[in-house]
Amino acid sequence: MAVLLALFSALAYGVSDFIGGLVSRRASVWSVAVVAQVGAVTFSTLLAVLVGGSPSRADMAWAVLAGLGSAAGIGFLYRGLATGRMGVVAPVSAVGSAVVPVLVGTVTGERPSTLVWAGVACALPAIYLVARSPRDQDKVRPDGGEDRTAGAFVDGVLAGLGFGVLFAALGQVSEEAGLWPVAAGQGVSIVALVMLASMLRASWVPREPRTAVAALAGVLGAAANAAFLLSAQAGFLSVAGVLSSLYPATTVLLAALVLHERVHRLQGVGLALCVVAIGLVAAG
């Protein structure tokens, strides 16, 4: 059951990221992120009411940390998806979101196998290769926008660290808490997103009607968070974190089918290593 929940989480995250990234190319990135999180907190609160639970102070403290990680993850991921290719940014973010829970799980007593550490080692060259982009090619994305994949790579790294913190924090929540920490974390992420956007002097107020679509991305993201929490409670944090980090497979597939994105040879090798890294950690 833990594996199925984690895989559902990966599927929901992937579709959510694709929708959010697509809307971010046509509207203010931070306003899209805020609308998505409003949808997320609404849906997760409804789930929490249905499931019930009695979270402790420690559970809510972890929820706050999860909310901060979620805000950084979503904000930088959407910014990266808006300026670079989805097939590059999403896998880079997945590496961080997979590695952080493994490290936290190890510190808290879990003992990953040799395969897991081999996967972590594969992640380093994978990130380097994905970051490489020919200077004289692909200056325009398939949808007509300017392709700034090199800069978006940094956003992918920051997003991965944010999601890694989200996963690691949710992994510490007790079963008695129900889904209230997920809802609380989503609420914290809205405030954090507004503060982060203000620090970056970016507009976060939703003005374009099209940003309303981002609420669907938020609902899917909330469902993914809930599934991840249940998966981590039923099994190991490290395994749940890695399996949930398979979300780029969905994002890349949708980007290839809908946006007709292509990846250069070296970047393709890097993406393949990302898949190998995640797969090794999952197999371990």
* pLDDT tens, residue by residue, 78-97: 888 777 666 677 778 888 88
**Cβ–Cβ under 8 Å, residues 92 and 274:** yes
Residues 6 or more apart whose CB falls under 8 angstroms from that of 58 comprise: 172, 174
Say how many domains are in the chain: 1
Give the pTM. Answer: 0.81
Q: Count CB-CB contacts under 10 A for residue 176.
A: 11
- The domain of 192 spans 2-283
Task: Give 3-state DSSP helix, strand, coil % of the chain, rounded to 5.
Answer: 80, 0, 20
Measured in whole angstroms, how far is the alpha carbon of residue 151 from the centre of its chain? 18
**Cβ–Cβ under 8 Å, residues 99 and 121:** no
pLDDT in tens, 158-173: 989 999 999 999 999 9
pLDDT in tens, 218-264: 999 999 999 999 999 988 887 888 888 878 777 777 877 887 777 67
